[in-house]
Amino acid sequence: MKKFSWKLILVFAVIVAAVIHVLPTFEPGLWPHKQINLGLDLQGGMHLVLEVDTAKAVEGQVERIAQEIRDQLRKERLRKVSLNRIDGNKISATIQDPQILEKFNALLKADFDFLKRSPRTESGASIIILEIPAAEAENTKRLAVDQALETIRNRIDQFGVAEPDIRRQGEKRILIQLPGIKDPDRAKDLIGRTALLEFKLVDDTQDVNTAVKGNVPAGREVLYRVDEDPDTGNITKVPFLLKKRTLLTGANLTNARVDFDQFNIPHVSINFDKKGARDFERITGDNVNKRLAIVLDDTVASAPVIQEKIAGGQARITGDFTLDEAKDLAIVLRAGALPAPVNILEERTVGPSLGADSIRKGLLSMLIGGILVVLFMVVYYKGAGVIADVALILNIILIAGGLAAAGATLTLPGIAGIILTIGMAVDANVIIFERIREELTLGRTVRAAVDAGFKRATLTILDANVTTLIAAIVLFQFGTGPIKGFAVTLSLGVIASLFTALVLSRLVFDYILGSRKVKTLSI
């Protein structure tokens, strides 16, 4: 008996460890151990993969640099330099006068030396193409993804989702998992909008209608306000001719919150930081009686007339908001704008009722399948079948314990993996029992037959399981989400069934055979 007592200790240790890990799932708070995580396909929720349009971030940066050069030119009173952004991420400067060219070059050298300059002449005019260096552009792209990740995390935190999982995936993708989300469309809207808030002046000196027809004056742009009739749902678009120059952005906000006017209609109140407040005071002071457009993601929210200089750094954004829309707007303004637009590449949403259905159906299949296998083993192998059944039940406990211990996620395919394991776990016992029967038919004693059965079957069982394990591990490497859950339970199942068949069953047989002289075996 002494010979295999270490096995006994091992088996008990494994069982106790598994039970310790499993119990909190059924009795939360029993002791501080993690519960088995349920995948989004079981508890309901939303899985999103976003891609940050990093090229747009670089374009934005180039646009800002062009603006800075223009400002600088104005300061130095250098006229007749025409600056344009071309190919998305380059600036072309066209200069006719060689004297100005010289001064312009000096300006670039002094303040914009980091830009790559490639000059050429074309029909008498000098053209300088300015480019930000590749390394700098790469850096901008990387920062854009980092910042988008941070911003989205902030937005989701403020929206209030329990245990969101937000992480970077690859170079410019962001993976978002929001368990138990009730209004996926609203969440998607909140995550996906750029939320770039800009203040621009309305140009009322020129006719907006000629501009709409395609004849937009230099330095101007046409943006629209979208009005929805609350009764008919009809959408009308009102055009505005705006000065392209952005006077102030949402980057200078310190707070944004929902307020109500005297008619109880919601709007968003915003507070500027010190610089923003100063700028806002100057802008409003310089432009009394003109209209200031509040532009959100290239759509005009409203364009009120400036009545007087506004000091104190407070403003309000009114518009056609429902309460939820106003709340979401306040959240995205507080969390800040995304540095570049994001596109949704993949979405998988499961409603909570479907998730509950899946759990119910999965568990039912597991129960029925399990009972069928358990009954079959008892009927076919009698006493030995009972040993196999004990091993099988333990097997499931071990898988559950493994899941909890590894902090893995149980998905619907994961449940299927457990069900499959139930069928495969008894395979090892079948192989051993058939071998034992064979040895008994050859006329060996019970002891010898059992020993030979285990000895001969061990290698076969190992081989058979190793190939399944290889497939499961490869699947784990390449699989995503729910499929990974299948790979996990299948791998755990294979390992657990090796343990229960080769160690546990053996131990039980040894115990039965060791305790008394056994003449016959119930097999």
Residues 395-434 binding other proteins (CB under 8 A) are: 412-413, 416, 419-420, 422-424, 426-427, 430-431, 434
476 near 484, Cβ under 8 Å?
yes
CA 231 vs CA 235, 260, 261: distances in Å = 11, 22, 22
User: Kind of pairing, strands 90-95 and 116-122?
Assistant: unpaired
Q: Is the sign of the CA dihedral 24, 29, 35, 39 positive or negative?
A: positive
Q: Note whether 466 binds other proteins by CB under 8 A.
A: yes
Among 82, 254, 299, 467, binds other proteins (CB under 8 A): 467
How many whole angstroms separate alpha carbon 166 and alpha carbon 187? 14
Give the shortest CB-19-to-other proteins separation in angstroms: 24
Q: Note whether 477 binds other proteins by CB under 8 A.
A: yes
Q: Note whether 325 binds other proteins by CB under 8 A.
A: no
The alpha carbon torsion through 340, 343, 346, 350 (nearest 10 deg) reads: 90
Contacting range for other proteins; rule: CB under 8 A; set: 127-135, 199-207, 245-253, 460-468: 460-468
Give the shortest CB-119-to-other proteins separation in angstroms: 39
Residues facing residue 256 across a β-bridge: 270
Q: Which of residues 45-74 bind other proteins (CB under 8 A)?
A: 49, 51
Phi then psi for residue 118, to 5 deg, are: -130, 100
Residue nearer to other proteins on the CB measure, 279 or 328 = 328
Contacting range for other proteins; rule: CB under 8 A; set: 97-105, 160-168, 224-232, 363-371: 363-371
52 near 340, Cβ under 8 Å?
yes
How many whole angstroms separate alpha carbon 156 and alpha carbon 479? 27
Q: Which of residues 239-278 bind other proteins (CB under 8 A)?
A: none
Residue nearer to other proteins on the CB measure, 130 or 388 = 388
Phi then psi for residue 101, to 5 deg, are: -55, -45
Residue nearer to other proteins on the CB measure, 72 or 349 = 349
Degrees, nearest 5: CA angle 431-436-439: 125
Contacting range for other proteins; rule: CB under 8 A; set: 92-100, 174-182, 311-319, 356-364: 356-364
**DSSP code per residue over 350-366:** E-HHHHHHHHHHHHHHH
Contacting range for other proteins; rule: CB under 8 A; set: 244-252, 254-262, 305-313, 458-466: 458-466
Our separate counts of H helices and E strands in the chain read 14, 19
Residue nearer to other proteins on the CB measure, 188 or 225 = 188
Give the shortest CB-189-to-other proteins separation in angstroms: 5
Residue nearer to other proteins on the CB measure, 52 or 293 = 52
Give the shortest CB-92-to-other proteins separation in angstroms: 30
Give the shortest CB-166-to-other proteins separation in angstroms: 18
Q: Which of residues 178-207 bind other proteins (CB under 8 A)?
A: 184-185, 188-189, 192
Q: For residue 401, how far is the Cα from the chain centroid?
A: 27
Give the shortest CB-193-to-other proteins separation in angstroms: 8
Among 70, 103, 220, 348, binds other proteins (CB under 8 A): 348
Give the shortest CB-319-to-other proteins separation in angstroms: 17
Binding mask 280-309 for other proteins (x = CB under 8 A): ------------------------------
Q: Is the sign of the CA dihedral 276, 279, 285, 289 positive or negative?
A: negative
Q: Is the sign of the CA dihedral 184, 190, 194, 197 positive or negative?
A: positive
